[in-house]
Structure 1
Amino acid sequence: MRYLISLFSLLLLAYSTLAQTAPVGGGRVEHLADFQSKYVQPRSVDVWLPAGYPKPGMKYPVLYMHDGQNLFSPVTAYGGVAWEVDSVLTALNQQGLVRECIVVGIWNASLRMREYTPAKPVGLLTATQRQAVEQEQGGPPLSDDYLKFVVTELKPYIDGHYRTAARRTSTFIAGSSMGGLISLYAALEYPKVFGGAACLSTHWPLSLQKNNAAFTDALVAYLPAKLHHQPRPLLYFDYGTATLDAWYANHQLRIDQALMAAGYPAHKYMTRNYTGAAHNEAAWKRRVAVPLQFLLSARP
C-alpha cells in the first residue's frame, strides 16, 4: 500500500512538472501560476522559450504580450482559438525574418478593462466623460499600477531568470483591442524600457456601449509631448472592417495624423487595414506575423 501511495505521488509530481513546462510548436512554455504583485491582482504568466533555448552565449529579445492565455493554447484561449504565436515565430525565424525571442504572455485578470485603460489620457476627459468611463468599467483606470507591475516586478523577474537581452532595443510589448491601448500607453510612458509596441485592433472608443471620439480626442491631446521623447519606440497599428473593428478607421486616421504632425519618422510606425477582418482571436492569429516582423526584424 505504501508503495502504491509513493508511486501515485511520483506520478502526480511528474504530471505537475509537465504542466509547468508544456511543449508547444517549436519550443516550450513555462507556466508561472499566481505571480504575485504589490500593485495588481496575482495572475498567471506564460513564458515561451524557442526551440534550442538556451543557446550558448546567446541573449534573447523579449516580447511582453497581454491577454496571455490566448497566445499559445486553444484550451485556455478565448473562444477556443489561440494566436499560435509560438508556431508563427518559429516559422518566421526559420525563414530568417525575425530574431529568436522569448514571449511573456501576461494573463488578464478580473479588472482587465481598468488595467488596460490609459490613465493619463482619461485624466484629460471632462468630468462627465470620466464619470461615464468609470461607471462602465466599475472604477477609475488602474493602468499605471499595471505598468508598474510589468516594468518593476515582472520584467526584473524575467531578466533574472532567463537569458534575456534586457536593453530597450530588444524589449517589446503587444496586445489587441484594449491590449492595444495599454501597449501604446506602455511604450509612450516607458520609452527607455520598450523599444516598440504592436497594437492590433486598438479599441480607441474605450467604451463597449457606443462609438464616440471623446477618448481619441484625449489621446490626441496626450500624444504630442510623448511623441517627441527620445528614444522613439516602433509603433505598429492595424484594424479590420467587420464587427467591433468597423468602429476604428476614423480613430486610427486621427492617430496617424497626430504622428505625422509630430514629425514621427515614417520608418518608426506602421498602420495596416485588413478588409473584412473581424474583432477576434482568429483574425489576429492570421495577421500576427506582420507586427512580429515589424518589431523583431532579423536586423535590429
Structure 2
Amino acid sequence: MKKSSSIIALVFACFISMATFGQETLLGSVERIKVHGKGLEGNLEGNSADPDVSIYLPPSYKKDAKRRYPVVYLLHGFTDTDAQWYGLVKHWINMPSVVDKVFAAGKLTEMIIVTPNAYTRSGGSFYSNSITVGNWEDYVAKELVTYIDQHYRTIAKAASRGLAGHSMGGYGTMRIGERYPEVFSSIYALSPCCMAPGGNRSPESLAKIETIKDPADFNKADFGTKAAIASAAAWSPNPTKPPFFTDQIVENGQVQKMTELKWAANSGLATIDQYVTNLKQLKGIAFDAGNKDQPIAANIKLLHELLDNYKIEHTYEEYEGDHLNKIAERIEHKMLPFFSGKLQSK
C-alpha cells in the first residue's frame, strides 16, 4: 500500500510539473536593453542618448528560431517609464502579464512589443524633436525601428509595424503616425493627451508655473506644473534660457503669446490638416478614452469629427472609465485584437 501511494504521489508530482511547464511555455519574455540615439546626443537637458528600451518577446519567439513577427511600438505616458509598464517596477499596469493572457488564448497573432524609456529631466519627451529634450520623434520612427529590425526577428516592413501609446504616448502615436506612414501602417491612441491647446489656465495654475526657477522648484511641483515645463522643453525650446532651456511660459500672470502659439501649433488637432494624405495611407487608425477623462474624451470626439470630414477611415470609442482604470482592459480587448487584424504576419 505504501509503495502504491508513493507511485501515485510521483505520478501526481509529474503531472503538476508538466502542467507548470506547459504554463511556462505560454509566457513571453522581457528584455531590457539600451539603444543609442544619434539625434538624442547633446540635448540641453542632459538626457541620456542611450535610453533603456523594454522589449516583450512573445511565447513562441525563443522556441521557433525561424519565425518572424510583426512589431508594435508602445509609447508610455508622462512621468512614466518603460520599467513601470513592463513590471520591472510596481505600477498601475503590468503590460506583459496582460499580453501573456491574450497570447495564451491562442486567438491572436503573436507580436513583439517595444517601449523606449522617454522619461526626461522634465518628466517626458512628448515624443517630439527639440534641442532641449532631444529628437525623440526621429528616435522612435527611425533609429529605434532600425535597431530592432537589425537585432530581432521582425517582419521589417511598414505593413507589419504598429504604433500605440497612452496619454503622452497617445499624443506621440498620433504625431509620429501621421508623419511616417512609410514606417508604421496602423496606429492606436489610448487616451491621447494634448490634442487641443489650452488646458488649465487658472490664475492659480499660472502662478505655480511662474514660481518655477530651478530644478529644486521643479522637483517639488505638482503634475500639471511639471507638464507645463515639459511641454515648453518639447515645443518651445530656447538654448539661451537656462536652466530649463525654454521660452518663458508665464510672465506677470500671463501666458506668453509666442509660447502659446508654439504649443497650439503642436497640438494634435492642429496638425491633422497637414497630413491628410499620409493618414489616408494608414491601414488602421483607432483611438479611445474614458468618458470621465476630460478634456481628453471631448478632444478625441473632435478628432473623430475631423477625420470624418476628410473621410479618413478610423475607429473611435468613448467608454465608461477614467484616464487609468480601464487601460489594461483596453489593451487586452481592443488594442491587441486591432493590431492582430491589421498587421501582416508574413
Alignment TM-score, normalising by the size of structure 2: 0.62
Does the 8 A contact of 2:27 with 2:59 survive in 1? yes
Distance 1:102 1:218 in 2: 30
Does the 8 A contact of 2:56 with 2:114 survive in 1? yes
Does the 8 A contact of 1:116 with 1:179 survive in 2? yes
The correspondence for 1:278, drawn from 322, 325, 340, is 322
Matched, 1:191 2:181: yes
Residue 167 (structure 1) shift: 0.8
Does the 8 A contact of 1:116 with 1:142 survive in 2? no
Identical residues among aligned pairs (%):
22
- Give 1:197-208 correspondences, 5 Å limit: 197-203=187-193, 204-205=195-196
The correspondence for 2:92, drawn from 52, 56, 81, is 81
Does the 8 A contact of 1:98 with 1:298 survive in 2? no
Distance 1:239 1:193 in 2: 25
Partner SS state of residue 32, structure 2:
strand
The correspondence for 1:168, drawn from 152, 158, 167, is 158
The correspondence for 1:180, drawn from 148, 170, 174, is 170
RMSD, aligned α-carbons: 3.2
Distance 2:98 2:175 in 1: 26
In the other structure, the counterpart of 1:127 is none
Distance 1:288 1:118 in 2: 24
Residues 151 and 32 of structure 1, relative CA distance in 2, 3 Å threshold: same
- Give 1:56-135 correspondences, 5 Å limit: 56-67=65-76, 68-73=82-87, 75-77=88-90, 80-82=91-93, 84-111=94-121, 115-116=125-126
Distance 1:215 1:162 in 2: 38
Residue 116 (structure 1) shift: 1.2
One-letter identity of the residue aligned with 1:51: P
Q: Deviations over 1:234-282 (max 9, x none)?
A: 221111133xx121232112111111111112xxx2112122x2222x4
Matched, 1:222 2:271: yes
Does the 8 A contact of 1:172 with 1:295 survive in 2? yes
One-letter identity of the residue aligned with 1:285: A
Partner SS state of residue 177, structure 2:
helix
- Give 1:15-54 correspondences, 5 Å limit: 26-33=27-34, 35-40=35-40, 41=48, 42-54=50-62
Q: Which runs of 5+ in 1 are unaligned?
A: 1-22, 120-138
One-letter identity of the residue aligned with 1:157: Y
Distance 1:160 1:257 in 2: 39
In the other structure, the counterpart of 2:287 is 237
Partner SS state of residue 224, structure 1:
helix
Distance 2:285 2:163 in 1: 10
Residue 299 (structure 1) shift: 7.5
Distance 2:98 2:122 in 1: 26
Bigger radius of gyration:
2
Count of aligned positions: 246
In the other structure, the counterpart of 2:146 is 156
The correspondence for 1:258, drawn from 306, 316, 320, is 306
Residue 81 (structure 1) shift: 2.1
Residues 206 and 61 of structure 1, relative CA distance in 2, 3 Å threshold: farther
200-209 or 44-53, which moves further after superposition?
200-209
Does the 8 A contact of 1:99 with 1:298 survive in 2? no
In the other structure, the counterpart of 1:14 is none
Q: Which runs of 5+ in 2 are unaligned?
A: 1-23, 41-47, 77-81, 203-259
Distance 1:59 1:256 in 2: 34
Does the 8 A contact of 1:147 with 1:186 survive in 2? yes
Q: Deviations over 1:8-42 (max 9, x none)?
A: xxxxxxxxxxxxxxx99811111114x32222233
Partner SS state of residue 322, structure 2:
coil
In the other structure, the counterpart of 1:287 is 330
Does the 8 A contact of 1:180 with 1:199 survive in 2? yes
